[in-house]
Structure 1
């Protein structure tokens, strides 16, 4: 973080801090004759005078050098807070309008006014999250980590040639592997009931998440899952620019996997933990804990491969289709046939899946009862006012759940 801090001080910080004098220094001057070193609380006037004099001795921010840990902490906190706001609103907004399928907002598990709630929750988490993260960044700037500036200063830098560059590539791969493994276990431990109820449950409020849900979590939850990123550069050498790029990438990835897209049957779904995998995590709660890859979920038995029948868009399309049929029948039928009409529509339209919570030992789990996952299902008939419950015409057997066509950036390519 010393790279953005250097440019900030060079072009903004020095001028900004020069205006931040201690206002009590000027107020204390005319009171200096009556002030004492100890607090005098004998009267209101004496108390004001002594407290002002004491505060006047506090160094002004304008007097702090670039190397001051106080100034560095203030600057880094401001830069981190500004950076996460810019990244969150720019990338999440783009993903929401150009990738996220807005029909998902019709899902029965999509909350009223959810986007506003996700944004509000994120804005509440950012100040505390940045404060918890600050010591790691201060340590980076003050040289306590293993970040290095140039290739020559890194491992094998003295030898020259291709070896230092090979190590840089290796450090990037190892960073992704190390953080993915650690986050898998941090994430899985956060599903232990004791921790889940206190920390991780707010993030699972968004069962059908939008990109704005990526940072809508309890600040301690977000901090615990960020520790592996910061810890990595204290355990093994990483080039500073490489670290900034990787740290930005993981934040982009966190937004990317929250777009509720259920693309499946592609060759990478058994290797890369994408939006479909994380959508299943929000629906089922106890699968696909990984961040970028699925190897840890496969090895430790928590992997669930995206399937056509798992797509929450099926429930949305069912509701849309039911509404269309009701409107069509409404226009063609009289009010006297309403009961029998509704029973027929219920039989034709694929119902939204039923969800139930289970205590799995790792936290709340949701089972999604979807027809069509390798077996046929029948929509139950409903007895109307003018027809028997066993009417065969009102029962339709559904042989297969077809993959719904997604709308968004990928569908238009």
Structure 2
């Protein structure tokens, strides 16, 4: 049993690392194509971001591997695979529930890590990326990585979700984590400045957090920033 758990953990670590390298690598390439020279002088910084991110991948892989083994071998979790196990209308709802729950945890833990002592010991690594690049999405101190590694693995014990919808949640988490750190806005201006865009976080919004630190703490949605008065709008530099 222990060997199977270790194998599952190693597999999940490899999956998380490859997912990071593929997604960040693609958007770093896109940045170089769309904004030639934009990050040309940030080679040493980007190498540090990759190093921290691969360490974070190992931390994320541990709970994911244990949960993955438990789901397959012991029937743990509330992940289901039959399309008729729950009503079809629940499929998109489950995705929204996961994203909102994750966003809620991220907002409050992120804001907590901006307290001076915690910032120095945990969050300063992430903000050492000036400006952030596509490689910075998982560039965390191990302590910070631990705060995020258990969120999705915990949610699968609490909220039913189809395996395919869980894959969609992980895809959204990965893509938004990367695109929010590119330093330029890839989405159309008409979307970013639309009513829908006013509730979603993109690079324009998150860049301002990296500029001013004490605002725009959310991950997917601007809901908690609006409620708590920490939304300072979009960066003028993106």
Aligned to 1:345: none
Q: Does 1:139 align with 2:47?
A: no
Give the structure 1 partner of residue 95 of structure 2.
172
The equivalent residue for 2:9 is 77
Equivalent of 2:216, from 267, 276, 288?
Answer: 288
Match of 1:201 among 107, 124, 129: 124
Give how far 1:111 is off: 5.3
Q: In the alignment, which residue of structure 1 is the partner of 2:25?
A: 93
For 1:72 and 1:248, locate their aligned partners in 2 and report how far apart those are by CA, in whole Å: 26
Alpha-carbon spacing, 1:262–1:168, altered in 2? closer, same or farther (3 Å): closer
Question: In the alignment, is the contact (CA less than 8 A) between 2:215 and 2:231 conserved in 1?
Answer: yes
Larger RCO of the pair (alpha carbons < 8 Å, separation 6+): 2
TM-score normalised according to structure 2 size: 0.86
Q: Please state if 1:304 is matched with 2:232.
A: yes
Give the C-alpha shift of residue 238 in structure 1.
0.8
| Aligned partner (choices 189, 203, 206) of residue 278 of structure 1 | 206
Structure 1 residue 269: Cα displacement? 3.8
- Of the two, which has the highest radius of gyration? 1
Aligned CA distance change for structure 1 residues 281 and 307 (closer, same or farther; 3 Å)? closer
Contact 1:256 1:275 in 2 (8 A): yes
Q: Return the alpha-carbon distance in structure 1 between the equivalents of residues 158 and 122 of structure 2.
A: 27
Aligned residues: CA RMSD: 2.3
Structure (1/2) with the larger helix percentage: 2
Which of 42, 56, 79 is matched with 1:125 structurally? Answer: 56
User: How far off is 1:212 after superposition?
Assistant: 0.6
Larger displacement relative to structure 2 (223-232 or 80-89): 223-232
1:382 maps to none
Q: Deviations over 1:202-222 (max 9, x none)?
A: 111012011011111112312
Q: How many aligned residue pairs are there?
A: 230
Q: Does 1:181 align with 2:71?
A: no
CA distance in 1, matches of 2:36, 2:119: 29
- The equivalent of 2:39 in structure 1 is 105
For residue 36 of structure 1, what is the aligned residue in structure 2?
A: none
Say if 2:95 and 2:165, in contact at 8 Å, map to a contact too: yes
Correspondence for 2:174 among 244, 251, 269:
251
Q: Following TM superposition, by how much is the alpha carbon of 1:299 offset from its aligned partner in structure 2, in angstroms?
A: 0.7
Tell me the equivalent position of 2:160: 237
Distance 1:96 1:182, change over 3 A: same
**Aligned partners of 2:214, 2:185: CA distance in 1, in Å?**
17
For residues 86-111 of structure 1, the C-alpha deviation after alignment (integer angstroms, 9 at most, x for no partner) is 212222111112135344437xxx75
Residue 151 of structure 1: how far off its partner (Å): 2.7
User: Structure 2 stretches of 5 or more lacking a match?
Assistant: none
Q: Distance in 1 between matches of 2:174 and 2:146?
A: 13
Secondary structure of the equivalent of 1:215?
coil
Cα distance per residue 1:168-194 (max 9 Å; x no partner): 222122222222122111211121223
What are structure 1's unaligned runs of at least 5 residues?
1-68, 156-163, 313-413
Q: Whole-Å Cα distance in 2 between the matches of residues 138 and 190 of structure 1? A: 31
Closer, same or farther in 2 for the Cα pair 1:137/1:197, shift >3 Å? farther
Q: Residue 127 and residue 175 in structure 1: after superposition, are their counterparts in 2 closer, same or farther (change >3 A)?
A: closer
2: distance between equivalents of 1:118 and 1:102? 20
Q: Does 1:214 align with 2:214?
A: no
Match of 1:224 among 123, 135, 147: 147
